[in-house]
Amino acid sequence: MKSDQFSSRLGVVLAAAGGAVGLGNIWKFPYMLGQNGGGAFLLVYVLCVVLFGMPLMMMEFMIGKRSGKSVFGAFSALSGSHRWDWLPCLTFLSTVIITGFYCVVTGWCLEYLYFSVVGELQGLTVETVGQLFGSFIQTGWQPLVCSGIAVVLSVSILWAGVGPGIERLSKILMPMLLILLLILIVRVTMLEGAFRGVAFLFASDLSKITSQTILDALGQCFYSLSIAMGALITYGAYMPKNQNVASTTMQIVVLDTLVALLAGCAIFPAVFAFGFSPTEGPKLVFSVLPLVFGQMAGGQVMAIIFFALLSIAAITSAVSLIEMQTAFVLDASVAWRARRAKRNSEASPRTLTRQGAIVVASLATLSVSVVCACSMVDNIDWLRIGGITLFDWADRITSNYTLPLIALFMVIFFGWFVSKETIEAEMRLYHGLKPWFTTLFRFLLRWFIPVIIVLIFLNGIGLFSL
């Protein structure tokens, strides 16, 4: 299958960065940091990004670029056998769960956009802002409808084929989101008691680092950089052959980390100034920001713009995620039917259409979304396991388990089953790259990353103690 190439190099950077920057940076990063002791988490996170995030992102781009295939065909194309076909299947399952709960949070953004338009966010106090979120989440039908709208909206964008248009639009809108974050930062630092938030964010108390902190930071790093979901492999397949993967990776990683940091700077000063607990979890951003907007001149308009931009960022990510699944379903159905036809010596097998694949992908996403949204409703106890909602489980299982595991298998695949010459041939395309860089890159992929992921993993499940 020949893949179209991106018209410009910047196009690849922006598309991948557009996918990378999303709810992971603005919603998830602050609450993970809050739950894991502040500055200590930041330190571990940055280390994870440098030691794991960058090499893994480069690796995925290379898998895509060298094979010219999206996630389903890439492994067999590079290794020349079908022995690795289970890995894209595992990636697909994990991505379906991620997309499902991603759409639930996208629904929250849409609801908060609605709240800000109708003025519901005005005049809130520290008590009522929590009640607003709580009653919204626990009513059942509201978050259900909102996540349904998020799925339907994303699928319609995909169906109509206007994804590239939206992507282009979001390239104009994303810088606006950054500017808005900067304005928020200026405003929150003026709040009384804001300094404690800044200290919480940046002062690393190393004694707060536990095995959970490390596992969470690793998972967050994968989630935020879209690693281990096949997305980067697909972007890689679209890259021009002479694109320098190392510098592209660097730009995306810096941008993604910067946005997460800006979100932290906008939120934590306000968390402390208003007397919230930083450990509030997924509702942190939705509790704190309305109060900040309430204190600003033109706060309602700002809130509308902010939640509109956040919703757009979330929807563009949801579209890419569902697109990824659609491509998987399509490629898998073509491959499986061709294999069956060969076995039965049939002529031309009928395969799924793109529309059919979109339906399969969106139904999978929608079912996960519905289960996740319902599990947060107050009186539906059977959707909780051990007192924890299936929404939280979906988040935890993917970030802490499936993403590190898939990354581990991918790195074993690339480090040990793809020839050294393939990596060197790729590296030779990047003029000016020193030979030690290739050696370091291979060492990280063959030894350092697999060993450390296994240790972090065993440590996280209590089989080994660091």
Residues lying near ligand TRP in the complex (CB under 6 A): 19-20, 22-25, 224, 226, 229, 231, 317, 320-321
In the bound state with ligand TRP, the residue whose beta carbon lies nearer, of 25 and 311, is 25
- Kindly tell me which of 19 and 53 has the beta carbon lying closer to ligand TRP: 19
**In the 8-state DSSP scheme, what is residue 389?**
E
Minimum Å gap between C-beta 97 and ligand TRP is: 12
Residues facing residue 385 across a β-bridge: 388
Q: Which is nearer to ligand TRP, 124 or 327 (CB)?
A: 327
Our CB check for ligand TRP shows the closer of 23 and 267 to be: 23
Q: Which is nearer to ligand TRP, 181 or 229 (CB)?
A: 229
Cβ of residue 27: shortest distance to ligand TRP, in angstroms?
8
List of long-range contacts for 361-365, beta carbons under 8 Å, 24+ apart: 361/96, 361/322, 361/325, 361/326, 361/328, 361/329, 362/151, 362/154, 362/155, 362/322, 364/96, 364/100, 364/325, 365/96, 365/99, 365/100, 365/103, 365/151, 365/321, 365/322, 365/325
Least distance between ligand TRP and beta carbon 19 (Å): 3
- How far is it, in rounded angstroms, from Cα 315 to Cα 328? 20
- Smallest gap, in angstroms, from Cβ of residue 94 to ligand TRP? 10
Q: What are phi and psi of 388, to 5 degrees?
A: -110, 135
In the bound complex, which residue of the shown chain has the CB atom lying closest to ligand TRP? 24
Alpha-carbon distances of 228 from 219, 262, 403, 428, rounded to whole Å: 10, 25, 6, 25
CA distance 5 to 3: 6
- Token digits for 404? 């590190």
- CA–CA separation, 155 vs 227, rounded Å? 23
Antiparallel, parallel or unpaired: β 384-385 and 388-389: antiparallel
- What are residue 388's DSSP bridge partners? 385
Minimum distance from residue 167 beta carbon to ligand TRP (Å): 11
Using the minimum distance from each CB to ligand TRP, give the nearer residue, 57 or 445.
Answer: 57
Minimum gap (Å) between residue 29 Cβ and ligand TRP: 8
Q: Which is nearer to ligand TRP, 336 or 401 (CB)?
A: 401
Beta bridge partners of 389: 384
Which C-beta is closer to ligand TRP: that of 105 or that of 144?
105
Amino acid at residue number 126: V
Q: Read off the tokens for 337.
A: 């039917």
The secondary structure element, H or E, covering residue 59 is helix 54-67
C-beta of 4 vs 192, nearer to ligand TRP:
4
**Residue 260 CB, nearest approach to ligand TRP (Å):** 8
Contact 29, 399 (CB under 8 A): no
Q: How far is the CB of 17 from ligand TRP (least distance, A)?
A: 10
Is-contact 390 371, C-beta < 8 A?
Answer: yes
CB 319 → ligand TRP: shortest distance, Å?
8
